[in-house]
Structure 1
């Protein structure tokens, strides 16, 4: 299919004055740019990606590349037996429905920050620097829909706090405060 400006260069454009033709061409160009930007916004860097979670708050914004643990088996294994995790990485544990959640650090070799998140994508509790190998339960509270585990100390370093909002497609089905 020919671009609109070529199709309009026929009989319609010939009937217009030079100034009107220039205006029409400019308007078509602007429309094309707006359409391209709209398509880019839906698939560009601001769009939700299945392996990324974005966080925002009064402190700013950051993003982590995440593995999703959304089955009983994946949640049970979590980040156990891993000697390190990249700074910009994490694991997002997702439950079928909001519930009381508690974690421990059995067989986990790296210190972790745990962000307990409700169904809207809002952080409701943070446990800082969970101790590797510790079997003490770490309660996240009631109505936990997801838990984001990141390297220990990053929540404080970035200023992530209770009330921080997460953006990921898993929250889109549950009334996300920051939808995709």
Structure 2
């Protein structure tokens, strides 16, 4: 009986630890050089995606916005009405970074294309992609990536 109770408690403990690792407002990034956690806002609806980070004068370090496109699709971003320089990280459904655009210029109307099958885009302060060596091949962990064949599941 004692073993059964201990086993149940350990199972409960580890399931809570695993659940604590993934929250809608947190995203983890990992590669050979770094592992870092960002606090993210979600942009899931067309209205949220179209508003994005426009008109914001600043964003805390290690914060960002995660745009979700389900199903995956071709996407292009621009910086109209965006006041802060950003790095844009394009991700497939498994959580694999496929493209990184560093240093998007505030107010620039030039389209920034992410590819043909983009599931998510993480926007973070410009310079952080370089600081954390975020390049194609880097992986991300978030609940949205764990709904499919995630490389790094929750």
Q: TM over 0.5, yes or no?
A: yes
More helix by share: 1
3-state SS in 1 of match to 2:144: helix
**Equivalent position of 1:38 in the other structure:** 14
Return 5+ residue gaps in structure 1 as ranges.
6-26
Return 5+ residue gaps in structure 2 as ranges.
none
In structure 2, C-alpha distance between the alignment counterparts of 1:31 and 1:68, rounded to whole Å? 37
**Equivalent position of 1:72 in the other structure:** 46
Q: Which structure is higher in RCO with an 8 Å CA cutoff and minimum separation 6?
A: 2
Structure with max Cα Rg: 1
In structure 2, C-alpha distance between the alignment counterparts of 1:74 and 1:115, rounded to whole Å? 18
Q: CA deviation at 1:175?
A: 1.4
Where has structure 1 moved over 4 Å in runs of 4 or more?
27-33
In structure 1, C-alpha distance between the alignment counterparts of 2:12 and 2:5, rounded to whole Å? 11
Residues 144-163 of structure 1 aligned to structure 2 (within 5 Å): 144-163=118-137
In structure 1, C-alpha distance between the alignment counterparts of 2:98 and 2:74, rounded to whole Å? 12
Size of the alignment, in residue pairs?
154
| TM-score, length-scaled by structure 1 | 0.79
| TM-score, length-scaled by structure 2 | 0.92
**Equivalent position of 1:62 in the other structure:** 36
More strand by share: 2
RMSD value over aligned CA atoms?
1.7
**Equivalent position of 1:87 in the other structure:** 61
